[in-house]
């Protein structure tokens, strides 16, 4: 076996797209989306003329300390039960990580939580499993719903929860329509994304990020934007990503108006149909909480996605190979506190801005 570093891009892409564990987050186009803050390298393992494994490595400079972290989102792409190939790959990647002065190598593979063989393989290679997280504490969601969309549309619809079927048909009866969006629709999508973030208490990326994501992924066929309209107004939208025979629902946004006509249900149904047209066999609804107590503030998201009858899936989570124990310990303590503070300040500023704009609007209305 031999390792190939930054080799033939077409060969790398073909392998990622065709492998059962291939993932959009392992594509070179995704690396381009992230290149404002992350550098990257990509590796392949070749054995007797065949590619056996690949791995996209995102590299980020850590502030102050002058060292790096390396992260492979949903990597590596290989049969992780094949310990010979996995050991060779990780050994070579570890050498690269040391060359880049990294304090750790982080992975979060697309492997189910009950796969004890892969967990053992990773621990034997020196990885440490992060603490369990029930909500969205990790970089990628630990819990998702995944729907097998190989059955025909009638069977898929019949397997949805009765309330989900009712809401899809209600949206159709009320005159909600769905169309595929373009880059010119991104400002309108982002506007309702901001509304959604304030309503559901999460921080929204700037419009420029969505524009860059569109530019990097759409022409390649990796991204589609769908919009639901009611009475001539965009009321909700979703962004889905595609790679090989898989589709991921990445972002969803909805207005505070006309939620009673259930546009979000129809959007999901139309995008499931779109994924089938493209030859996909799996539709991933992405993150939900692992805490399915109805009192959990995230339970509504769980209930919405559960209605489409996907498989509730838990992944093995994040595994870190620690290369600098002291700096890794500092990182583990500092980053969660920083993210929590940043999120709190960002949401506070957004709400303050919204209050000011509302006050100005009300004042203007009073003078008319």
The pLDDT, as a whole number, for residue 362 is 43
pLDDT at 165 over 60: yes
Q: Which residue has the higher pLDDT, 343 or 154?
A: 154
Confidence grade of residue 131 (pLDDT, cut at 50, 70, 90): confident
Please give the Cα distance from 196 to 270 (Å, whole number).
21
pLDDT at 364 over 80: no
Confidence grade of residue 218 (pLDDT, cut at 50, 70, 90): very high
pLDDT at 354 over 80: no
Tokens of 163: 């309330």
Q: How much of the chain is helix, strand and coil, in % rounded to 5?
A: 45, 25, 30
Convert the pLDDT of each residue in 138-154 to its tens digit: 789 999 999 999 999 99
Please give the Cα distance from 120 to 72 (Å, whole number).
19
For β-strands 102-107 and 68-72, DSSP reports them as: parallel
Tokens of 35: 């290149």
Which homologous superfamily does the CATH classification assign to the domain defined by 150-280? Gcn5-related N-acetyltransferase (GNAT) (3.40.630.30)
Domain with residues 2-139+316-351, CATH architecture: 3-Layer(aba) Sandwich (3.40)
Convert the pLDDT of each residue in 262-315 to its tens digit: 999 999 999 999 999 999 999 999 989 888 888 888 888 999 999 999 999 999
Q: What residue spans define the domains of the chain?
A: 2-139+316-351, 150-280
150-280: same fold as 2-139+316-351?
yes
Considering only CA atoms, which of 245, 207, 204 is closest in space to residue 22?
Answer: 245
């Amino acid at each position: 076996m031999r390792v190939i570093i930054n080799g033939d891009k077409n060969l790398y892409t073909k392998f990622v797209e065709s492998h059962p564990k291939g993932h959009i987050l392992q594509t070179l186009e995704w690396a381009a989306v992230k290149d404002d803050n992350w550098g990257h390298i990509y590796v392949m393992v070749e054995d007797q003329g065949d590619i056996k494994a690949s791995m996209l490595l995102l590299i980020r400079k850590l502030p102050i300390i002058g060292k790096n972290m390396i992260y492979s989102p949903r990597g590596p792409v290989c049969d992780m039960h094949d310990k010979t190939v996995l050991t060779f790959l990780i050994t070579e990647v570890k050498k690269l990580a040391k060359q880049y002065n990294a304090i750790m190598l982080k992975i979060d593979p697309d492997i189910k939580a009950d796969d004890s063989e892969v967990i053992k393989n990773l621990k034997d290679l020196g990885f440490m499993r992060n603490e369990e997280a029930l909500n969205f504490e990790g970089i990628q969601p630990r819990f998702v719903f995944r729907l097998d969309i190989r059955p025909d549309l009638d069977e898929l619809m019949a397997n949805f929860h009765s309330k989900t079927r009712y809401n899809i048909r209600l949206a159709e009866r009320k005159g909600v329509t769905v169309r595929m969006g373009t880059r010119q629709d991104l400002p309108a999508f982002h506007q309702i994304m901001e509304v959604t973030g304030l309503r559901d208490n999460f921080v929204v990326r700037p419009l420029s990020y969505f524009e860059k994501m569109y530019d990097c992924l759409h022409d390649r066929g990796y991204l589609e934007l769908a919009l639901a309209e009611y009475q001539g107004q965009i009321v909700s939208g979703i962004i889905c990503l595609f790679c090989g025979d898989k589709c991921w629902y990445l972002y969803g946004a909805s207005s505070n108006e006309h939620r009673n006509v259930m546009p979000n249900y129809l959007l999901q149904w139309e995008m499931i149909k779109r994924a089938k047209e493209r030859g996909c066999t799996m539709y991933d609804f992405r993150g939900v909480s692992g805490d399915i107590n109805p009192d959990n503030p995230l339970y509504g998201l769980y209930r919405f996605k559960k209605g489409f009858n996907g498989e509730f899936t838990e992944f093995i989570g994040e595994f870190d190979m620690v290369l600098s124990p002291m700096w890794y310990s500092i990182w583990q303590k500092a980053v969660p506190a920083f993210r929590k503070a940043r999120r709190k300040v960002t949401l506070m500023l957004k709400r303050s801005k919204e209050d000011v704009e509302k006050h100005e609007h009300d004042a203007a209305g009073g003078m008319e």
